[in-house]
Amino acid sequence: MARDAAQILAEAVREAGDRIRAALAIRFRDLDMAEEAFAFASLRAVETWPRDGVPRDPAAWLYAVGRRRAFDIGRRTKVRETAVHDAPEPAPNPETILMAAFEPIPDERLRLIFVCCHPALAPEARIALTLRTLCGLSVERIARAWLTTEVAMLQRLTRAKRKIRDARIGFEIPEPDAWGERLDAVLATLEIAYAQAYEDAALASDAADLAAETLRLSGLLAELLPEEPEVLGLAALVRLTESRRPARLDAAGAMIPLSEQDVRLWDGRLIAEAVALMRRAAELGRSGPYQLMAAIHAAHASRLEIGTTPWSDVVTLYDILMAVRPSAVTAVNRAVAVAEAQSAEAGLAALATVEGPERLAAWLPYQAARAGLYAKAGRDAEAAEALKAALALHPAPAERLFLERRLAALGA
């Protein structure tokens, strides 16, 4: 019985936790209070469910108890009267009364995403706040993903929450004239999470949770904003890169480059989801960088179906992406695609035009690409030199293994 209660609680938290936290945060216009109230409700469930039985609607119970708690905190601190004035006086003993109650929890997740990703907050604070508030990821876990200490991350979160409260960042869905800027900030925030989750694959064995949350968040956003093609594009992009996770490392833990991955290990379900999202985005008829990046990854994914990578399509897509949103990363990736579509020398020529980080030579993706292109051109000495330069730039373990192997293969 007790085990059942614990299981049901875990399930309710997993399935409705984000919705409950969001509803509490929006209702009381205070992220800290929502967090505390939700933690309180979960704790009460642990204490009372095994004894009194599991409520008919566990999520509604958690929300009601959390709301009651937030109301009490608000009344005690008195400073938030204006925020709670419309909250009705809760029943005196909600936990027993609620046993049979059913009440839909309002879906405030979109409003909360817009609060957490407000452009007035620092980008790194936005993503931490989103993962903490919407996904319930622990501060310790978020700190680990961004290679900082738990204390530093907690400070960053506290500062952001204080700014939301004291500068009065609005809890409303943005007005039409601010919509573009606010949505861009949300997309950029999810992109940071996605990049980190992707990077993590080569670093940590427990990266799956961050990747899973990024998948879920991007999917949720696509569900909440089905008319925004770039939102659909980002959701597709995240699915396409995630589909390759099982194929990205070999048995020894070395990175396997995309073009050498075993396509049978790719997750066909995620690829199909991505393709469906991209189709819907295309029907809306407004292209953008996330849809373009998704299209590039979809072109790579098509190797699963057609057996080869359509490299000239990839180059064309990179050309468009460079025109829409130029970046050094895109330019380097484009050069690699040019090498595949045309020749290694053409790729090297494209790489030579890359303008980017001031000290290009000290930038790992550049050196790694350079090494690959020189090796492809049969210029072994230059390839070895670039590999050594790349290895000196502290690559993650999986990439280090890969680069070392390439160096050994050159006999250098």
Least distance to other proteins, CB of residue 120, Å = 6
Least distance to other proteins, CB of residue 248, Å = 41
Least distance to other proteins, CB of residue 81, Å = 13
CA-to-CA distance for 307 and 15, rounded, in angstroms?
39
249, β-bridge pairs? 255
CA-to-CA distance for 6 and 54, rounded, in angstroms?
10
Nearer to other proteins, 80 or 379 (CB): 80
Length of the chain in terms of residues written: 412
Least distance to other proteins, CB of residue 170, Å = 4
Nearer to other proteins, 65 or 164 (CB): 164
CA-to-CA distance for 398 and 386, rounded, in angstroms?
18
Region of 168 (left: φ > 0; alpha: ψ -120 to 50; beta: rest) is left
Residue 146 has a CB neighbour count (10 Å cut-off) of 15
Least distance to other proteins, CB of residue 121, Å = 10
SS3 59: helix
Nearer to other proteins, 90 or 174 (CB): 174
CA-to-CA distance for 311 and 298, rounded, in angstroms?
12
Residues that bind other proteins (CB under 8 A): 118, 120, 166-170, 172, 174-175, 177-178
Least distance to other proteins, CB of residue 188, Å = 17
Tokens read off for 203: 């670093």
Tokens read off for 395: 């690559």
Nearer to other proteins, 121 or 217 (CB): 121
Residue type for position 388: K
Residue type for position 312: S
